[in-house]
Every structure is written in structure tokens, then in C-alpha cells.
Amino acid sequence: MKIQIWSDYACPYCYIGKRHLEQALANFAHADKVEIEFKAFELYPHAGKMAVNTTQERIEKKYAKSPQGALEMIAHIEKMGERAGLDMNYAGVKNTNTFDAHRLYQWAKSLGKGEEMNERLMRAYFGDNLELANHDNLAQLATDVGLNGDDAKKMLASDDFIQAVKNDENEAQIIGVQGVPFFVFDGKTATSGAMPVSNLLGLLNQVYKDNQADNLAGASCGIDGCE
């Protein structure tokens, strides 16, 4: 089974949804047969290289909330993170452009460190509250997962992996992704949002069961032999 996940490092529900999926897979009997592919999506494609507002200010503007309403939304998300086992300081995040963070992930994936890099980037944003457009920060994160920081800086200064990120974003447009996290199971079953662990586990079992049925239905014999 292959699971494709469109997500952004600036998305709290993507971090929570990622942890929920991991917890569901821990209870899925066929987890060893699951391949996960993370794909890029930018919630703030026009954001700059430096943070210009707080989480509270951004929520007030984006969702037309009062200061109290914004604080309640922040607290709710942090509580969701806590229940998922995450130490999230959503109030303190520094929102910047995440395009280069997605490039860094693609580069790390090409070197066999994609899973570690993806997790480190999430934790850097929500736990360490780092600006993910800052190349020094990104190089340090590469070092944290065992990659060469100088090589990371050279990559970020080049055009490498720009097209890979754009391809993910273009594919998201084609299949109609409106929000993240967005999960696609085996290219045919799609769902969005940070679903509860029990729902994800049920979906994993259902997709696996459907795949087994498809495999059985696909076996047949004719006058020229069996396929």
C-alpha cells in the first residue's frame, strides 16, 4: 500500500495528522507493506523570508477572529498536539515561506534521509520556532539528521529540487487538493484533515481489504491459459 501525503511545515494539523498516522500504523497488522511519500503544499506561498507577524495576529487577520478567539484557537491546536504526543508551541511559531524547506526535504530524501528530515522540519517549526526560510537554520537541520550542512547550503543556493517541489504542487492542483493534510491511499482513496487514529486505522484496514479483493478478482483463466 502506498500513501501519498500533501502537507506543509507551517500546518499544525499536518504535524498532528502525521503523528496520528504513525500511531495508526503501529496498530496496523500490515504496516511493513506500507510506503509513505510526502508531497509539498504551501499554505503561504507569498510569505517572505522573515516572519512579520505572530500566530495570533495571523489568525485574527486570516479568520477574522477577535484576539480572544485567536488565543482560543491557538490553545485548542496546542491541546490537540499534546493529545497526539507532540510538544507544540504554536503561539510562538515564526511563519515564513516554506518552499526551500520542501526543497531540503527532497534533497534529504534523495540521500535516504527523507523521513528524518520531514520530522525534523516539523519539530523545528512547531517546537523550536525556527524560521524555515533561513538557509542557516535549514543547514543546521540537515546536520541534525546526519547530513552535511555545507552541502545543504550549496543545494539551497542552487536551482536543485525546485521543479520537484513544483511538480508536487501542480499535482495537488490537478487532483483538487484544497487543504492539508491530504492523504491518498494507493492512488484512489483520498481523505483530508488530521483524522483520529481510530479512523485512520479503519481506513488502512479497509484499503488493504479492498486491495486483497481486487487481487483475487484479477486472477482468471481462459482458453489460452491463466493470468
What is the block-wise mean pLDDT of the chain (227 residues), using blocks of 10 residues? 97 98 98 97 96 96 96 98 97 98 98 98 98 98 98 98 98 96 94 95 95 62 59
pLDDT at residue 217, as a whole number = 47
* Every domain of the chain and the residues it spans: 2-217
pLDDT at residue 212, as a whole number = 82
User: What distance in Å separates the CA atoms of residue 160 and residue 154, rounded to the nearest whole number?
Assistant: 9
pLDDT at residue 49, as a whole number = 96
pLDDT at residue 221, as a whole number = 59
pLDDT at residue 213, as a whole number = 76
pLDDT at residue 43, as a whole number = 96
H-only helix segments in 43-134: 55-63, 67-83, 99-110, 114-126
* Parallel, antiparallel or unpaired: strands 221-222 and 182-185: unpaired
pLDDT at residue 158, as a whole number = 98
Cα–Cα nearest to 18, from 96, 138, 115, 97: 115
User: What distance in Å separates the CA atoms of residue 195 and residue 13, rounded to the nearest whole number?
Assistant: 9
What b/e sequence results for 94-131 when a residue is b if at least 16 CB atoms lie within 10 Å of its CB, and e otherwise? bbbbbbbbbbbbbbbbeeebbebbbebbbbbbbbeebb
Which grid cell sits at 216?
483475487
Determine the topology of domain 2-217 in CATH.
Answer: Glutaredoxin (3.40.30)
- Give the total residue count for the chain: 227
